[in-house]
């Protein structure tokens, strides 16, 4: 299954944290592409430092739920604390798409319900996949115009 993952960090050594996360994801999957790092202002939530964001495309033999669990474990290893919704974080790994899967459950909604609204996801994704699309929504390029 092919997964699109958004990475973000706005606490600590943001670049190193993202690099370590990429290496951790590489241990559980085949990474097909990784975007450049982008510095972005936070969206929503309390006042907080700017983020470094990136997007990667990976392939793995996991269900979407299993892959999300692996991503959550990587976040926890990086010291992720979930105290304030949309608050500052050492590492944020969002599963954006899993092949063409469209689902909504208590644990996982695919595609990510706000991905099409977030330039910090769309711009790096388009960098590594100019033909990227969000299942049920449309081409990524359409949302950046």
Residue-wise pLDDT for 8-41, tens only, equals 999 999 999 999 999 999 999 999 999 999 999 8
In this prediction, residue 99 carries a pLDDT of: 97
Gap between the Cα atoms of 20 and 22, Å rounded: 5
User: Are the CB atoms for 37 and 127 separated by under 8 Å?
Assistant: no
Number of domains in the chain: 1
Which residues does the annotation mark as catalytic? 80, 89, 92, 94
Tell me the average pLDDT of the chain.
Answer: 92
CA atoms of 108 and 117, how far apart (whole Å) = 18
Q: Is 14 exposed, middle or buried (0-12, 13-18, 19+ CB in 10 A)?
A: buried
Of 78 and 55, which is predicted with more confidence? 55
The dihedral over CA atoms of 52, 143, 23, 72, expressed in degrees to the nearest 10, equals 90
Helix (H, G, I), strand (E, B) or coil at 23: helix
Checking if the pLDDT of 4 tops 90, the result is yes
Residue 62: give its domain's CATH number. 3.30.70.560
- Look up the domain containing 79 and give its range: 2-144
Residue 133: phi and psi, rounded to 5, are: -145, 155
pTM of the full structure: 0.93
């Amino acid at each position: 299954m092919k997964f699109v993952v958004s990475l973000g960090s706005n606490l600590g050594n943001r670049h190193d944290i993202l690099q370590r996360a990429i290496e951790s994801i590489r241990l559980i999957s085949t990474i097909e592409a990784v975007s450049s790092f982008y510095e972005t202002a936070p969206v929503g939530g309390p006042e907080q430092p700017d983020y470094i964001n990136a997007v990667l495309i990976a392939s793995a033999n996991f269900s979407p739920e299993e892959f999300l669990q692996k991503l959550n474990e990587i976040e926890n290893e990086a010291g992720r604390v979930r105290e304030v919704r949309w608050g500052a974080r050492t590492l944020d790994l969002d599963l954006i798409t899993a092949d063409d899967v469209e689902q909504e459950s208590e644990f996982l909604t695919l595609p990510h319900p706000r991905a099409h609204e977030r330039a910090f996801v769309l711009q790096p994704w388009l960098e590594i996949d100019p033909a990227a699309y969000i299942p049920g929504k449309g081409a990524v390029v359409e949302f950046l115009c």
